[in-house]
Amino acid sequence: MAPCWRLSLGRPAWLQLQWVVISLVVMLSLANHSSGYFYGEGNEQASNDRFCFCQLQGTIDDCSCNVDTVDYYNNVKIYPRLKSLLVKDFFRYYKVHLNKDCPFWVDDSKCAMRFCHVEHCEEKDIPPGLKGDTTSYHKYIKEVQTLTNCNEDLDVELGYLNTSISDKAHKEFQRWADYDEAQDNFCILDDHEPGAEYVDLLLNPERYTGYRGESARRIWSSIYLENCFQAHSIKKKNAFSAMIPYQDMARNEVCLEHRVFYRMVSGLHSSINIHLCANYLLSEKSSLGFVAPSGVWGPNMEEFERRFSPHMTDNEGSHWLRNLYFAYLVEMRALAKAAPYLRNEEYFTGLEKDDREVKTAVKDLLTVIEGFPSHFNETAMFSGGTSSIKLKHEFREKFMNISKIMDCVGCDKCRLWGKLQVQGMGTALKILFSGKFDDKMESGLGTKLKPQSPPLRLKRGEIVALFNAFGRLSTSIHELEEFRQRMR
């Protein structure tokens, strides 16, 4: 029987109002129950909860902090700083090779849509400090080499020492150095190769370009299915061993290193999907009906629900979103670990005022990151003796393979952002696991390097990718909150 809403003249007004409110609540509850939208376990109501599936709570897997803590720290402290920092010239110009052939299959699926095209910047727009080699200095000039205190009684022939080194020998030495350095890399660095060009990231924002279908699915299938670890690493062998089910990870049926790998890849995937949903091509025409040169972009709620809601993802969407937070914490830890090194960088572009501002802003951001109460603990990984060496090599090779798959993406703009974010994540892994950033004082995070430490080295492209990749994860967490607000 439907509740009666007629007001009784014999009752006080407040009591009548209270009865109306109670009646409305009962009717809404009945409507929700009869709607049939239920998911998960227990008494969760999907008619309401399906619009709140992105409201995550609790501890982040394999980390010691809560989702709420990350939300607040990122959205209030980190995201605003990154947003103002990444528009600076040092971080907006990224050198990348976008014309490499796919090493795994014949790339016959180039995206022909105009929004897949990458806008290349003109030579005059590139900051002067990025056009030349700023790492070379004329250390050996004539005045330095002139001897003023030679002993005249030395035999000229016996004392002769040929100090010249041929150009060929110099190139060989550089090849050795590059090889040694490459052993620490977790991704392919191609900014030094012929064909690499500077791209203005602000002219080419990451967004949904219309690139979809079999080509896009093949990329992610290759990333997941061709980079799985051996089945013997799973305590309980699963029939679908190409993918580790989340339930197995939640029960810790795979080792920490494998869980970290899958959660980082899944977190990157979730982050990219959020960017596509938040910057979706809504129309190619303006409100007046004319073709808009740059299109009309904005958030697409239906697409967001399709990619993450429980009833569209077999209850996996919320786990994928949690992996976004995991990847964020891993990259944040890498920035904190490399903070002493990054503070000493000059961030040189040749524009003195801008360079000074960037260096100050980076120091401020690093101080905030170091102040985060609970970082990811990478020391728990690869600590099992000789077997861990093999596991670390396997981990590195699989992530290196993912960076090669990025050259198979058919959309140039998608390829640009895929390569940048994979390189940024690979740089974070290099910082955490190469061992070259471990030599620090015993007082904890953010301490200064010991004077005896060997010189640490990150290339400019790695630094640009590291900050921009972390910026993409930070933006995803911020945009996730925006989707929550719209759903409410």
Spatial distance between the Cα atoms of 416 and 198, rounded to a whole number of angstroms: 11
Spatial distance between the Cα atoms of 113 and 117, rounded to a whole number of angstroms: 7
Q: Are 421 and 268 in contact (CB under 8 A)?
A: yes
Spatial distance between the Cα atoms of 308 and 312, rounded to a whole number of angstroms: 7
Q: Which of 359, 421, 351 is nearest to 126 (CA)?
A: 351
| Segment holding 402, helix H or strand E | helix 386-405
| Token pair of 296 as six digits | 């009309």
Based on the number of CB atoms within 10 Å of its own CB, is 55 exposed (0-12), middle (13-18) or buried (19 or more)? middle
**Is residue 220 annotated as involved in ligand binding?**
yes
Catalytic residue among 111, 187, 408, 411: 411
Q: Is 102 a catalytic residue?
A: no
Q: Are 191 and 96 in contact (CB under 8 A)?
A: yes
**Is residue 207 annotated as involved in ligand binding?**
yes
Catalytic residue among 111, 116, 187, 414: 414
Name the one residue in this structure whose structure tokens are 């190769």.
Answer: 193
Q: Is 414 a catalytic residue?
A: yes
**Is residue 105 annotated as involved in ligand binding?**
no
Q: Which of 234, 263, 308 is nearest to 51 (CA)?
A: 308
Spatial distance between the Cα atoms of 340 and 357, rounded to a whole number of angstroms: 18
Q: Are 231 and 248 in contact (CB under 8 A)?
A: no
Q: Quick count: other Cβ atoms within 10 Å of Cβ 23?
A: 14
Q: Quick count: other Cβ atoms within 10 Å of Cβ 10?
A: 7
**Is residue 307 annotated as involved in ligand binding?**
yes
Residues of the binding site? 207, 209, 220, 266, 269, 307
Q: List residues with catalytic annotation.
A: 411, 414
Residues of the binding site for FAD? 207, 209, 220, 266, 269, 307
